A = this chain, B = another copy of it.
Amino acid sequence: MLIRDATSGDWPAIWAFLRPIVAAGETFTWDRDVSEERARAMWLLEPPGRTVVAVDADETVLGTAKMNPNHMGPASHISSASFMVHPGHAGRGVGRALGEHALGWARAEGYRAMQFNAVVETNTRAVRLWRSLGFEVLATLPEGFDHPVEGYVGLHIMYRPL
């Protein structure tokens, strides 16, 4: 698996799994019917943000991550990141590899911490992964997320110093 900068040529492959993940409404705080144009603008970031893809030896896109400052000005030393793994390639360590990559990027860019603003508490796989990468749940917004099956569930703010 290789992690490299995403190019506009990667967008169709990203959109193919990003769209159903967002439409399912179980893990992302995005409008479930987001347009492709808006999704692309929100996912493919310009500096100081960065977007990468994890690809197989045959250039199949397995997953993607975007990284960016979480705050501005006097709090711009806090980074953030978002991740999506192609459901057909789950369980292969793609999320972990992307998470480690994002932490490395943030360190290299001089950030002092990484903060996730909205990790759905029922997304236990993600919560477990981020904990194993050194993140802690700093707070949970009670009933912060309206899950299509579970109803209102908590929304974690997760954090780790770098």
**Interface size range of chain A in the complex:** 35 or more
- In the bound complex, CA of A147 to CA of B161 (Å): 18
Judging by beta carbons under 8 Å apart, are B138 and A113 in contact? no
**Chain B residue at minimal CB-CB distance from A138:** B139
Rounded to whole Å, the gap between the CB of A14 and the closest CB of chain B is 18
Contact with B along A50-78 (1 / 0, CB 8 A): 00000000000000000000011111111
**Chain B residue at minimal CB-CB distance from A137:** B139
- In the bound complex, CA of A112 to CA of B145 (Å): 11
Judging by beta carbons under 8 Å apart, are B155 and A141 in contact? no
Judging by beta carbons under 8 Å apart, are A141 and B78 in contact? yes
* Among listed A22-30, A89-97, A101-109, A125-133, interface-contacting one: A22-30
A83 at the interface (CB under 8 A from B): no
- Most chain-B Cβ atoms within 10 A of its Cβ — which of A77, A139, A141? A141
Judging by beta carbons under 8 Å apart, are A155 and B118 in contact? no
Contacts of A115 in B (CB 8 A): 141
Which residues of chain A (1-59) have a CB below 8 Å from chain B? Answer: 22, 25, 28-32, 34
Contacts of A72 in B (CB 8 A): 29-31
Judging by beta carbons under 8 Å apart, are A157 and B155 in contact? no
Contact A144 B29, CB 8 Å, known A71-B118, A75-B118, A139-B157: no
Report, nearest first, the 9 A-B pairs whose CB atoms are least far apart.
A139-B139, A138-B139, A29-B75, A29-B71, A74-B146, A30-B73, A31-B73, A75-B145, A29-B73
A residues neighboring B (CB under 8 Å) = 22, 25, 28-32, 34, 71-78, 112-113, 115, 117-118, 138-139, 141-148, 155, 157, 159, 161
